[in-house]
């Protein structure tokens, strides 16, 4: 076997070994890599109760309620199967609107309402000019 052949084999083995290690590691950690849970996961008990988590979903149309003269807001967060009511007080990102995907950080209270201390907007992958969007009254909601 020529030295060159040995080096090719060594490199192939390194790549295969590292890929296998990475695949195993990422599979083992996969639940920790999830940036957020869905309402279904939260309600089905996959998440320890009262644990601080991030909850992702779409803001249900017509569910946003603001308290006048304060930053208090509450809305329904849905993954099209289950829905969780979210309470929040603070500034919202520009992209927050009904029908938008968002991620809320906080914990589920005893009254089954999710108390959020941070709300992030999740942008979808669609880009288009406003004139075009006006012709599509309902832009395809991408599930988070």
Provide the binding-site residues for another protein, judged by CB under 8 A. Answer: 4, 7-8, 11, 14-15, 18-19, 22, 26, 30, 33-38, 56, 91-96, 103, 118-134, 139, 142, 144
Report, in Å, the least distance between residue 7 CB and another protein: 5
Report, in Å, the least distance between residue 103 CB and another protein: 6
Report, in Å, the least distance between residue 109 CB and another protein: 22
- Identify which of residues 2 and 110 has a Cβ nearer to another protein in the complex: 2
* C-alpha pair distances (Å), 144 with each of 18, 57, 68, 86, 91: 31, 6, 30, 17, 22
- Identify which of residues 110 and 132 has a Cβ nearer to another protein in the complex: 132
Report, in Å, the least distance between residue 121 CB and another protein: 6
Parallel, antiparallel, or unpaired for β 83-89 and 113-122?
parallel
Nearest to 104 by CA among 43, 36, 55, 63: 55
- Identify which of residues 103 and 108 has a Cβ nearer to another protein in the complex: 103
For residue 74, list its beta bridge partners: 65, 87
* C-alpha pair distances (Å), 123 with each of 17, 58, 95: 36, 11, 7
- Identify which of residues 16 and 50 has a Cβ nearer to another protein in the complex: 16
Burial class (CB in 10 A: 0-12, 13-18, 19+), 1: exposed
């Amino acid at each position: 076997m020529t030295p060159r052949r040995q080096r090719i084999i060594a490199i192939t083995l390194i790549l295969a070994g590292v890929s296998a290690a990475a695949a195993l590691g990422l599979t083992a950690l996969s639940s920790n890599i999830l940036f957020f849970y869905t309402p279904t996961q939260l309600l089905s008990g996959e998440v320890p109760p009262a644990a601080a988590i991030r909850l992702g979903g779409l803001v249900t149309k017509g569910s946003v309620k603001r308290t006048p003269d304060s930053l208090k807001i509450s809305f329904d967060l849905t993954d099209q199967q289950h829905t969780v009511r979210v309470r929040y007080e603070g500034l919202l990102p520009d992209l927050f609107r009904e029908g938008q995907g968002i991620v809320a950080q906080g914990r589920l209270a005893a009254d089954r309402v999710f108390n959020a201390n941070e709300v992030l907007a999740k942008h979808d992958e669609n880009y288009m000019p406003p004139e075009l969007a006006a012709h599509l009254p309902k832009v395809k909601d991408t599930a988070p």
